[in-house]
Amino acid sequence: MTTTTTPATQPATTNRVSRDYEKPLWRRVLLTREMAIVALLVLVVAYAMLTVRGFAQPITLNYLLLDIAPILLIALPMTLVMITGEIDLSVGSMVGLASVVTGAGVHAGLPFELAAVLALLVGAIGGAFNGFLVTVVGLPSLAVTIGTLALFRGLAVGLLGTTAVTDFPEGWTALAKAKIAGTTIPYIMIPFLILLVIFVVVLHFTPFGRGIYAIGQSKDAARFSGVHLERTKFLLFMAAGLVAAFAGVFYTLRFGSARGDNATGLELQVIAAVVLGGVSVFGGRGQLYGVVAAVLLIGVLSSALRLANVTSDVINVITGTLLVVSVVSASLLAWLQKVRRRRSGPVSSVAAPTAS
């Protein structure tokens, strides 16, 4: 089944694919952008455990995962959207809107479960609206989602006004913060892991996923190879809206407060992590494990720096610098490789610099 679609990727990337297979397996696995992030993550975790007071205790993992859970969740569909070369800037506002819909529903007397389902529905509809404008109308996703970023946020603030709904069922708010028995890992990691498995399988092991890469590498080639361009993108935007709404329901429960300005600016944190994780903003390249490692890396860095009493401005500067360095070094290395290859022919020393 899968083999039938492999030709889809090849016409667009003939040179890259052949280059990949010049190298031995261990090099292809270990000397990648994603592995560099994973290595950096391990390094930062080890360093923080040894030197930052208060980092090496069980509760750190709990706070850390609770903090980054919404980013982890939304990064999954965002990765797929960005591999197709599109972007969804409206996810942060969708988190806010879903939070407000949940709150307004509960406030209006609906049972929480129904309000949450309603919020998920709103997420799917909002995502489908983005998808419709991008695929059917054919507008660029950057413009569309800047528009819906403002639209969803406006709806969220307009729906609740200045009030904040805080009366959610105790059982659900407790569940949002509950730890898996015997560990300090919050329960929200279970839905996250389920979603992670689904997204990994879809992206890496199905024709649909191959199509996502194909679209990112060359729209025309993908279309000629039989990839349903519009349907794929539409479904991805819908998934982004749905997952963002799920994150919004979680967000509401975690803080026990539904407000119009919840999760303002979250979309940029998600996109920063996705880019840091090795996904190209031009589409066509990226791996989910790199993105997950990048979200963890940013989370661990800010957690450790906060524990060291570093101020928020400096933390922003550090994560920003990390992002810029990672993007610049990736293109610098690609350029260096190209230059060296032209001079000295293929392989040999080519792959070594990628590790740094």
Partner 1 sequence: MKFAHKRATAVAAAAVAAALALSGCADTGSSGGGSSEGGGSDNLSITFLPKSLGNPYFDTSSKGGKAAVEELGGTFAEVGPAESGPDAQVSYINTATQQGVGSLVVSANDPKAICDALNEARDAGVKVVTFDSDTNADCRDLFVNQATADGIAKVQVDLIAEQIGDAGEIAIVSSTANATNQNTWIDKMKELLAADHPNIQLVDVVYGDDDEQISFDKTAAVLQSHPNLKGIVSPTTIGISAAARYLSTSDYKGKVALTGLGTPNQMREYIEDGTVTAFALWNPEDLGYLSAYAAAALINGDITGKEGDTFKAGKLGEYTVGADATVLLGDPYVFDKDNIDDFDF
How far is the CA of 78 from the CAs of 24, 53, 186, 240, 274, in angstroms? 31, 34, 23, 6, 7
Contact indicator for 31, 354 with CB cutoff of 8 Å: yes
C-alpha 36/C-alpha 42 separation (Å) is: 10
Q: Convert residues 98-127 into a mask of x (bound to partner 1 by CB under 8 A) and - (unbound).
A: ------------------------------
Contact indicator for 261, 159 with CB cutoff of 8 Å: no
Contact indicator for 20, 28 with CB cutoff of 8 Å: yes
Contact indicator for 73, 243 with CB cutoff of 8 Å: yes
Q: With CB under 8 A as the contact rule, which of the stretches 28-36, 224-232, 320-328, 336-344 interacts with partner 1?
A: 28-36
Shortest distance (Å) from residue 249 CB to partner 1 = 15
Shortest distance (Å) from residue 348 CB to partner 1 = 21
Query: Residue 265 or 345: which CB sits closer to partner 1?
Result: 265
C-alpha 170/C-alpha 188 separation (Å) is: 16
Q: With CB under 8 A as the contact rule, which of the stretches 54-62, 85-93, 132-140, 333-341 interacts with partner 1?
A: 54-62
Q: Does 18 bind partner 1 (CB under 8 A)?
A: no
DSSP letter at 180? P
From candidates 7, 24, 54, 111, binder to partner 1 by CB under 8 A = 54
Q: 47-67: string of b/e by CB count within 10 Å (b at 16+)? A: ebeeebeebeeeebbbebbbb
Query: Residue 100 or 144: which CB sits closer to partner 1?
Result: 100
Q: Convert residues 180-209 into a mask of x (bound to partner 1 by CB under 8 A) and - (unbound).
A: ---xxx--------------x---xx----
SS3 state of residue 43: helix
From candidates 31, 121, 307, 330, binder to partner 1 by CB under 8 A = 307
The tokens describing 291, both together, are: 């993105």
Q: How many residues bind partner 1 (CB under 8 A)?
A: 63
Cβ contacts of residue 229 below 8 Å, gap of 6+?
Answer: 135, 215, 219, 222, 223
In single-letter form, the type of residue at position 11 comes to P
Q: Does 56 bind partner 1 (CB under 8 A)?
A: yes
Site for partner 1 in 216-275 (CB under 8 A): 251, 255-257, 259-265
Query: Residue 191 or 256: which CB sits closer to partner 1?
Result: 256
In single-letter form, the type of residue at position 81 comes to V
Shortest distance (Å) from residue 128 CB to partner 1 = 28
Shortest distance (Å) from residue 356 CB to partner 1 = 18
Shortest distance (Å) from residue 257 CB to partner 1 = 4
Shortest distance (Å) from residue 312 CB to partner 1 = 4
Find the radius of gyration of the CA atoms of the chain. Answer: 21
Shortest distance (Å) from residue 267 CB to partner 1 = 14
In single-letter form, the type of residue at position 163 comes to T
Shortest distance (Å) from residue 214 CB to partner 1 = 14
Count of beta carbons in the 10 Å neighbourhood of residue 350? 20
Q: With CB under 8 A as the contact rule, which of the stretches 47-55, 108-116, 143-151, 319-327 interacts with partner 1?
A: 47-55
Q: Does 15 bind partner 1 (CB under 8 A)?
A: no
Q: 241-254: string of b/e by CB count within 10 Å (b at 16+)? A: bbbbbbbbbbbbbb
Q: Which residues bind partner 1 (CB under 8 A)?
A: 2, 6, 20-21, 25, 28-30, 35, 38, 41-42, 45, 49, 53-61, 63, 67, 157, 161-162, 164, 166, 173, 177, 183-185, 200, 204-205, 251, 255-257, 259-265, 287, 289, 292-293, 296, 302-303, 306-307, 309, 311-313, 316
